[in-house]
Amino acid sequence: MSELYSHSRLSSFENCPRKFQYRYVLKLPVDTEGIEAFVGKRVHEVLERLYRFTGDGKVPSLARVLERFRLWWDEHFDASRVRIVREGLDVEHYRRLGERCLTHYYRRHYPFDTDQTLGLEERVVFSLDSAGQYRLQGFVDRVVRARDGSLEIHDYKTSARIPRQQWLDRDRQLALYQIGLAPRFGHESNVRLVWHYLALDQVRSSQRTPEQLETLRGETVTLIDRIRAEREFKPKTGPLCGWCEYNDICEASPVRRKAARGNGELAPAPAGQAQRPAGQAQSAEDQLPLLQPTGR
């Protein structure tokens, strides 16, 4: 049986083939996670629990929802494992972020009776081809039957940035979920993809035509073929390097190179560049600033 891919696995390759190699080919263990991912997990867990309660006819108060969030935060948080990259921000900032996300969602959707929940953290496994050679999986935050009868695929975001509508209309993740859910719910003509940007209390949606879904199917197959044919896995430096869990071993990591210079060691250079003694003046192209990620 062919290996399972996912949106996150595909994105990892697109963002940096070397990181993909570390995680999915060499399967190097990771002992840390970014604080942004930690916040996202806790918020998702609490919202899943909230809808399981409301599905049983019980609507907990906002105070109880926030109490549950704080309890699970304290149970899971380990300062030696959870990394904070952004300078000037501390753990309390991110705890408040999670509370704000949940408060916005609760107040917008209370009493949670405007639609019907069909699935929570729904795992979908499907093939893009009839032979089963291009298999994907994903976990859908919430599958919904709206009041107008439409099927909705919901996704929660804790990032503080909302993409432009043009980007959402090309989003791969939820559109792939739509393909994966079709065998269960049928090829419905009215399916909405819905994003909840919790920190900003904003909701966005998009829809796909059958033709767009077929195009996506073909593009994803082509991408998987590229991954399978890859042999070099060259590193790609960019905005996400500072958040990469492998930046202590990647020779292209600006974090590792900065640490090496600070220790008076030979600074490891990216592939294709000669190494130079630490402290030697950098050229403009050598300067690799640490930028910030776009969100969960």
Give the pLDDT confidence score for residue 254 in this predicted structure: 78
- Average pLDDT rounded to a whole number, residues 86-110: 97
Task: Report the C-alpha gap between 9 and 14 in whole angstroms.
Answer: 9
Structure confidence at residue 146 (pLDDT): 96
Q: What are phi and psi of 290, to 5 degrees?
A: -85, 115
Q: What local confidence, expressed as pLDDT, does residue 2 receive?
A: 76
Domain ranges of the chain: 4-14+114-229, 33-109
Query: How do 116-127 and 135-145 pair as beta strands?
Result: antiparallel
User: Percent of the chain beyond pLDDT 70?
Assistant: 85
In whole angstroms, what is the distance from residue 250 CA to residue 181 CA? 38
Whether the per-residue pLDDT at 296 is higher than 80: the answer is: no
Q: How far apart are CA 155 and CA 48, in angstroms?
A: 12
In this predicted structure, the answer to whether residue 240 has a pLDDT above a threshold of 90 is: no
Give yes or no for a contact between 120 and 51, defined as CB atoms under 8 angstroms apart.
Answer: yes
Q: In the structure, what pLDDT confidence band is assigned to residue 238 with cuts at 50, 70 and 90?
A: confident
Identity of the amino acid at 92 = E
- Residues making up the chain, counted from first to last: 296
Judge whether 45 and 96 are in contact, CB under 8 Å. no
Task: Kindly give, in sequence order, each residue whose CB lies less than 8 Å from that of residue 81, ignoring residues fewer than 6 positions away.
Answer: 31, 32, 33
> Can you tell me the distance from the alpha carbon of 118 to that of 143, in angstroms, rounded to the nearest whole number?
5
Tell whether the model's pLDDT for residue 278 goes beyond 60: no
Mind listing the pLDDT tens digit for each residue in 30-86? 989 999 999 999 999 999 999 999 999 999 999 999 999 999 999 999 999 999 999
Average pLDDT of the chain is: 88
- Write the CB contacts of 33 (distance below 8 Å, at least 6 apart in sequence): 81, 82, 83, 245
Q: DSSP string spanning 63-88?
A: HHHHHHHHHHHHHH--TTTEE--STT
Q: Note the pTM of the prediction, 2 decimals.
A: 0.85
User: What confidence score (pLDDT) does residue 172 get?
Assistant: 97
Kindly write down the DSSP assignment for every residue of 269-281, as one continuous string.
PPTTS--B-TTSP
Write the DSSP assignment of 11-26 as a string of letters: HHHHH-HHHHIIIIIS
Give the SS3 label for residue 157.
strand
Phi, psi of 196, deg, nearest 5: -105, 110
Which is more confident, 194 or 262?
194
pLDDT at 285: 28
Class of domain 4-14+114-229: alpha beta
pLDDT in tens, 241-275: 888 999 889 988 876 666 656 655 544 444 433 33
CB 25, CB 250: distance < 8 Å: no
- Residue 239: what pLDDT? 81
pLDDT of amino acid 262: 60
Identify any residues that bridge with 194 across adjacent strands, giving them in sequence order: 154, 205
Tokens of 182: 């079709």
Task: Give backbone dihedrals phi and psi of 119, rounded to 5 degrees, phi first.
Answer: -165, 145
